[in-house]
Amino acid sequence: MADRHPSEPTPDEQGPGGVSSDPLAYSATPGTAPRGVVGAAHSAAMPGTSALRSTTPDAARDGRGSDDTPKDACGVFGVWAPGEDVAKLAYYGLFALQHRGQEAAGIAVSDFSNVIVYKDLGLVAQVFDESTLASLTGSLAVGHTRYSTTGSCTYENAQPSFKQIRGGRGSVALGHNGNLTNTSELSREVAENGLGDDMGATTDSDLITTMLAANPDLSLEEAAVGVLPRLRGAFSLVFMDENTLYATRDRNGVRPLVLGRLERGWVVASETAALDIVGASFVREVEPGEVLAIDADGIRSAHFAAPEPKGCIFEYVYLARPDTTISGRGVHATRVEIGRRLAHEAPVEADLVIPTPESGTPAAIGYAQGSGIPYGQGLVKNAYVGRTFIQPSQTIRQLGIRLKLNPLRDVIRGKRLIVVDDSIVRGNTQRALVRMLRESGALEVHVRIASPPVRWPCFYGIDFATRAELVASGLDVEGVRRSIGADTLAYISLDGLIAASEQPRSRLCTACFTGDYPIALPEEARLGKHLLEDLVRAPDRTPAVDVSGAASGDPGPVSVPPADPVAHEGLETPPERAGARAGYLNTLPSWGAVGALDRP
Ligand code: SF4
């Protein structure tokens, strides 16, 4: 157990009276107890860890997670590699995925007989140290970096989520990227089937783990093919028991998930950049509606639902790392192309193109290329103010925005500037930025945005803001321009963005720009990230939801296609597993079977 919470400053970092002298210092959720080891199935307790250091990962320095930006859903990582230090591979993999979640981090490892989970609030480098990682020995692991899209930022809600399978048949540890849309329905089913007490957290992810661990008569593999078709919404999952690593994506493949190969094992990760950092070669993406199982018998694949790809286009705009590739298209190249197209769609006379660092940089380079106007750096990011999103009040948030960027006055003074940013959410950042540039001597400030106006909330794992908070939901472009105080404002068109991504429109989700949600949204899905906490506080409350989905347009329970297990080129399935694999989809247990269980 940690003897001091990761978020607490070391004595050297504390100001007078032991209070942090950094006005933007990390602040954990009030009342959250310091923790470390959370789940140790059949295993000895791990040695505790002590204080955390003040290391600030690059992702935090990038300013991701600042108050006025979209909050990434989460990052997931899994590795199956006997003989390798899987905890350190997971640690470095999570480092590469830090930008996807900066509230909590965790790793589960198994040595083929015990699963141990270590997790805590904080950044990856704050949660883990050398001695902790040395204690996490095993042959397979899953890891998670969290930004909360369902449930509060508390220790209990950190992942991997962990359960012992009922009947003592082993355990399951799970990491989830995305957001379910039928959480309320599943929560009621769990409660009605006497499994409510198994829930240890208030997240849709914990709900999935509870369902997977519910049936003592099923292996995790068998349970998975019964549970996965019951889930609606967005989920890229990594999960494991003592012996097998699993990876799966929802039938729409909203969130990314890729498979990589190590010399002596396999890796799955949210982004290809995480494969690169551990030296894994990219094999392919996990397909929408597919589940992979990786263990000593090789790798097996099956589909639990027919794929209907609807990848998140915002991954290209902001969420993914620039050095990641999604559906064969490099994210950096996409962003540069967006800038080029933006220059042609929305030209303006100016002296200099500058980015809002760092997320606006590739599009600014593209805008400069497309317009012929010189590119330059006019703003410097304060390297140590990257986590202002955890400050609770709007007043402090606005201070944080002002503190995180510093103008290069010599560059700016007397210039007509084009400022390129990735997106506008509330508009606070751009408003403060335009004011700061004018105060620094800019003659004109023209704002160009590398995405269309964000007018609709995301229910699939990205926490933008409520619709009322989205500045573009209530104002047209001219209204937003006036609101932020720019001389001109222009956004890339949706057509331009899609063309830059080189993806077919039909395979993309664009709902936050269009309001056209590709996955039906029951009323409950609109209740927000604290849905389960609200239900706990008021258990009798019945959200206005048609469970059948008929009224909401939800097609109802999934009919699992009688598809054959899919053999993929390059994936190995030993002959002796062929029979087992053929039966993989034939063992579809129903959730009803789980409900028929006697309570212990
Ligand atoms: S609504 Fe926007 S952010 Fe959410 S999945 Fe769709 S494109 Fe991505």
- In the chain, where the domains are located: 38-44+58-309, 324-501
Model confidence at 25: pLDDT above 50: no
Query: Tell me: the pLDDT tens digits for 96-125?
Result: 999 998 889 999 999 999 999 999 998 999
Kindly state if the Cβ of 591 falls inside 6 Å of ligand 1.
no
Lowest mean pLDDT among 168-172, 423-427, 482-486, 510-514: 168-172
- pLDDT on residue 400: 59
Kindly state if the Cβ of 458 falls inside 6 Å of ligand 1.
yes
Distance, first Cα to last Cα, the chain: 30
CB 372 within 8 A of CB 379: no
455-491 burial, b for 16+ CB within 10 Å, e for fewer?
bbbbbbbbbbbeeeebbbbebeeeebbebbbbbbbbb
User: Class for domain 38-44+58-309, per CATH?
Assistant: alpha beta
Kindly state if the Cβ of 320 falls inside 6 Å of ligand 1.
no
324-501 is classed in which CATH architecture?
Answer: 3-Layer(aba) Sandwich (3.40)
Lowest mean pLDDT among 183-187, 194-198, 334-338: 194-198
- pLDDT on residue 153: 62
CA of 13 to the centre of ligand 1 (A): 39
Lowest mean pLDDT among 12-16, 129-133, 267-271, 400-404: 12-16
> 3-state class of 301 per DSSP?
strand
Residue nearest to atom 5 of ligand 1 (CA): 312
Q: Give the integer Cα–Cα distance in Å for 397 and 290.
A: 41
Residue nearest to atom 2 of ligand 1 (CA): 512
Residues β-bridged to residue 419? 354, 447
- pLDDT on residue 529: 54
Q: Residue 597: which pLDDT band, with cuts at 50, 70 and 90? A: very low
Query: Tell me: the pLDDT tens digits for 289-323?
Result: 999 999 999 999 999 999 999 999 999 999 999 99
Q: Give the integer Cα–Cα distance in Å for 523 and 267.
A: 37
Q: Which residue among 458, 473, 494 has the greatest number of ligand 1 atoms within 8 angstroms of its CB, and so is best to mutate?
A: 458
Residue nearest to atom 4 of ligand 1 (CA): 458
pLDDT, average across residues 480-486: 98
CA of 337 to the centre of ligand 1 (A): 20
pLDDT, average across residues 17-46: 34
- pLDDT on residue 384: 64
CA of 250 to the centre of ligand 1 (A): 14
Question: Which position has the higher pLDDT, 472 or 429?
Answer: 472
Kindly state if the Cβ of 313 falls inside 6 Å of ligand 1.
yes
CB 448 within 8 A of CB 417: no
Q: Would the pTM of this model clear 0.85, i.e. be above it?
A: no
* Strands (E) located in 223-377: 236-240, 245-249, 258-262, 265-269, 281-285, 290-295, 298-303, 311-312, 325-326, 329-330, 352-355
> 3-state class of 396 per DSSP?
helix
- pLDDT on residue 399: 60
Helices (H) and strands (E) in the chain, counts: 21, 24
Tokens of 118: 């270590």
Kindly state if the Cβ of 497 falls inside 6 Å of ligand 1.
no
74 is catalytic: yes
Kindly state if the Cβ of 460 falls inside 6 Å of ligand 1.
yes
CA of 517 to the centre of ligand 1 (A): 9
Query: Tell me: the pLDDT tens digits for 63-108?
Result: 333 446 665 579 999 999 999 999 999 999 999 999 998 889 999 9
Could you please report the per-residue DSSP string of 563-581?
PPPPP-TT----HHHHHHH
Kindly state if the Cβ of 498 falls inside 6 Å of ligand 1.
no
What are the C-alpha distances in Å from 259 to residues 60, 98, 415?
Answer: 26, 19, 48
The pLDDT > 90 percentage for the chain reads 58
